[in-house]
Amino acid sequence: MTVAASAPLLNDAALESLRLAGNPFRNFFARNPDDDVCARFHVAELFAKERGQLLGVVDLYRAEPGMHSEMVPILGNKGAGKTHLLHSIKHGGPTPLSKGAKGVEEGWQLLVTPGTYQKDTDFLEYLLFQLIDTLLGGGKQKGRRPLEYLSEQLTRSLLQRALTGAGRDEQMALFPAPGLGRIGRFLGLGSAQAQERTQWLLDHLRRPQSATQATPLRRLCVECALDPERACQLLCNCVDRSEPHDAAGLLRRHIYQGFARAALLDDESDLANFLTYGFAELDFKVKPSRQDLVLSLCKVLMGVFQTMKIPVVVAFDQLEDLLLARRNDDGRRTAEAFFAGIVQTMHQIDGVCFLVFAERGLWNRFVPSLDGYIQDRLNNPVHVPGLGTIKTLKLEAPPPELFRRVVEARLASVVQSGMFAPLFPFTEEQIEQIARTEPTLRDMLQQCRHLFDHLVYGEVQKTAYEETEAQPRNAFAPAVKSFVVVETPTEGTNLDAVQVKELVRPAAGSQVTEAWEHALTAARETLAPEGALTGATRELQSGLGAFLQTCHEHGVKVGPWRLQHVVPEWSFGGHPTYGVITIAHWVCRDGQPWKVGIGLFLGRGAGKPKDLEIKLSSLDATPTMIDHLILLRPDDDLALSGKSKTIWQDAEKRGRHARLEPSGADHFAMLYAFPRWLSALGESLPPGQPLPNLADIIQERCEKLLEQVCMPVP
């Protein structure tokens, strides 16, 4: 609807100030749980009750880490504020639960927010690699990377245990005397100083401090003149002695030592390599299956987090876009596999808190038709002391007084404090009318966007129908983002009275490219740390599958080649990390299609030949699945030598067709960003409106990547 504008008196100076600042309601929705728009315009009172209830559920796992895994659905219409609520849980600070109440510091939790759903992958395997990607990636939660926070907390505890059990000789080895003082060590001299420094370090490790106040572990080592390498060796020796030699003990030993090296030596490679390669290469008495390997690693990782009393929260946001990324998918079958996977995981793994943010329509369409045992687990209520029993949270439109606070927060970014009223250029009546007539928070903000343009720029307000009809058919056609209309003064007119109107009108094309750049920037940050690329192997493979599937659906061509069929992910063999590729059938004009397998060859160190061996084994499948194999390899480690070179040459001798393609950081960022970009596009469109044709922007932005994953262009 269009709001009647009984506007306040707006003088030219005030209008000019607002024009220069721009419309603060342009970005009226959160693209993902890490979107900084949420932080800039956050109003703590909005959904404070619901946020408090969800954090109360999470706190149950802090108090009792091994309690049964449970799921809480958070339902609301599209634009209700679900993603913003999730952002405030993932990144937020104090939460006031009632008017006038003081905020309490929220505890830290490992919050996994999957950006993709790999429907053809075993659910627990999919969940494991989402967890690993979150752990090793560069994304931050409450200002810190998960790996930095967890390695610091765990290593402090392990080092404290190692120091407590250290004998006199071990303590003296930690603090060797320089020069001639070493001779005194053999005479038993210097032990008092070593004991004193050990006790000082123990006192600081035992001192209760919040995560934000604790002195970093490496700084403590510097202050007591302890070489971090010696501290790490002491800790690793202690872990070797204390951990059993069964399968769980072997896994836990490597994980503990990997975290310790990350915290003390700033070396994340050991942990990254073990979580993606080493865990499948341990000397097991009986070789486990792929599923058993995944289950064992999941249980050990969860046990490590539970020991630290760190809740693990898996939050699925924008479920409708996550499950129905392809509009021609069988939505019911995908939803059944998804919810069945959650229930199976809840039976196998304790201590996981699932949060599912979904549209009410999707929930009501799919959940009632699920099997009874699945419905029983999904509808199981959770009792939170002091907050009651929680079964389902429903997000309703905010009342007028709360919406007023949201509008004030937006306007505060463009209106100088004290110069105008908090709602300037709006009136109380206009905000009240919008709040009482619009169904969701997003619709309210969109109305404010139109009203702001009308009052400040003089634009005619449009209904949603008129706005949709006015959009160009080609969403990627060149569009003018802004223009200036200057009214030429007639003779005798004072130049100060000239009205300059800046009309900022982002067209659909600019919105799409802006979303692409935003997703790409976030992907680069996530993949920047040392072990992040290795940890994101499965997520990158999923992105590659989504990329090629979209190219197929939108008619993207590479020279004379076009896609005839795409299998986004094909799993094979017994290795969970390396045993997956994407299959693309490329056809040239009227010729026979080439079945091309495309995989991520990211293994490092000892994992490099193993990764290559498994990928090349896809060419030996019976019946034949692929004719040609393309492997994307980081361009800083392209050369094959030693065992890797031998494996490659043996494949060539057997007539196997394969090639390596050097890929830089930008190409991997594109693959990681692609499904998240699709999800953001789907979220920004009106309900029921299909995605525009993406062929032009894909061919423009991803030309080199397309050539690498296609047969050679003649």
Q: HEC string of 39-105?
A: HHCCCCCCCHHHHHHHHHHHHHHHHCCCCCCEEEEEECCCCCCHHHHHHHHHHCCCCCCCCCCCCCC
How confident is residue 464, by pLDDT bands cut at 50, 70 and 90? low
- 553 found inside a domain: yes
Same domain, 132 and 268: no
The answer to whether the CB of 255 falls within 8 A of the CB of 301 is yes
- Quick check: 471 pLDDT over 50? no
How confident is residue 262, by pLDDT bands cut at 50, 70 and 90? very high
- 7 found inside a domain: no
Q: Could you tell me which residue, 487 or 553, shows the higher pLDDT?
A: 553
Nearest residue to 676 (alpha-carbon basis) of 34, 88, 25: 34
| 624-673 residue pLDDT tens | 999 999 999 999 999 999 999 999 999 999 999 999 999 999 999 999 99
- Quick check: 16 pLDDT over 60? yes
Q: Could you tell me which residue, 214 or 182, shows the higher pLDDT?
A: 214
- 297 found inside a domain: no
Same domain, 256 and 124: no
Same domain, 246 and 384: no
Q: Quick one: tokens of 142?
A: 């409450």
- 501 found inside a domain: no
Strand partners, 583: 567, 597
Q: How many domains does the chain have?
A: 4
- 443 found inside a domain: yes
The answer to whether the predicted template modeling score (pTM) of the entire model surpasses 0.85 is yes
Same domain, 80 and 150: no
Of 218-232, 506-520, 557-571, the poorest mean pLDDT is in: 506-520
**What Cα–Cα distance (Å) separates residue 560 from each residue in 550, 626, 706?**
18, 20, 13
3-state secondary structure of 162: helix
The pLDDT value given to residue 469: 47
Same domain, 230 and 118: no
The pLDDT value given to residue 170: 87
The pLDDT value given to residue 195: 87
| 596-614 residue pLDDT tens | 999 999 999 999 999 999 9
Q: Quick one: tokens of 8?
A: 């306040």
Same domain, 460 and 574: no
User: What is the CA angle 47-52-53, rounded to 5?
Assistant: 100
The pLDDT value given to residue 424: 87
**Angle between helix 146-164 and 247-265 (nearest 10):** 100
Same domain, 448 and 319: no
Same domain, 65 and 191: no
Residues 6+ apart with CB under 8 A from 653: none
The pLDDT value given to residue 468: 47
Query: Which string of b and e fits 513-541 if b means at least 16 CB within 10 Å?
Result: eebbebbbebbbbbbebbbbbbbbbbbbb
- 5 found inside a domain: no
The pLDDT value given to residue 645: 96
The pLDDT value given to residue 656: 93
Same domain, 161 and 220: yes
Q: Could you tell me which residue, 692 or 237, shows the higher pLDDT?
A: 237
Same domain, 519 and 650: yes
- Quick check: 554 pLDDT over 80? yes
The answer to whether the CB of 625 falls within 8 A of the CB of 618 is yes
User: Which domain-ending residue is among 394, 427, 448?
Assistant: 394
The pLDDT value given to residue 109: 94
Q: What is the CATH number of the domain that holds 317?
A: 3.40.50
The pLDDT value given to residue 332: 81
Q: How far apart are the C-alpha atoms of 662 and 541, rounded to whole Å?
A: 16
- 20 found inside a domain: no
Q: Could you tell me which residue, 32 or 201, shows the higher pLDDT?
A: 201
- Quick check: 501 pLDDT over 60? no
Q: What secondary structure letter does DSSP report for 122?
A: -
Compute φ and ψ for 437, nearest 5 degrees. Answer: -115, -20
- Quick check: 38 pLDDT over 60? yes
- Quick check: 475 pLDDT over 50? no
CA–chain centroid gap for 302, Å, is 19
User: Which domain-ending residue is among 394, 416, 432?
Assistant: 394
- Quick check: 76 pLDDT over 50? yes
- Quick check: 42 pLDDT over 80? yes
User: Which domain-ending residue is among 370, 394, 418?
Assistant: 394
Same domain, 562 and 698: yes
Residue 340: exposed, middle, or buried by beta-carbon count in 10 A (0-12, 13-18, 19+)?
middle
Question: 227 is in which domain, residue-wise?
Answer: 146-289
Average pLDDT value for residue range 503-527:
75
How confident is residue 5, by pLDDT bands cut at 50, 70 and 90? very low
The pLDDT value given to residue 472: 43
How confident is residue 327, by pLDDT bands cut at 50, 70 and 90? low
- Quick check: 180 pLDDT over 50? no
The pLDDT value given to residue 106: 54
- Quick check: 687 pLDDT over 70? no
Q: What share of the chain is helix, strand, coil (3-state, %, to 5)?
A: 50, 10, 40
Q: Could you tell me which residue, 680 or 467, shows the higher pLDDT?
A: 680
Average pLDDT value for residue range 360-370:
88
- The residue type found at 628 is H
Same domain, 270 and 359: no
How confident is residue 325, by pLDDT bands cut at 50, 70 and 90? low
- 498 found inside a domain: no
Q: Chain-wide mean pLDDT for the chain? A: 85
How confident is residue 209, by pLDDT bands cut at 50, 70 and 90? low
- Quick check: 47 pLDDT over 50? yes
| 240-255 residue pLDDT tens | 999 998 999 999 999 9
The pLDDT value given to residue 461: 63
% of the chain surpassing 90 pLDDT: 61
The pLDDT value given to residue 173: 86
% of the chain surpassing 70 pLDDT: 84
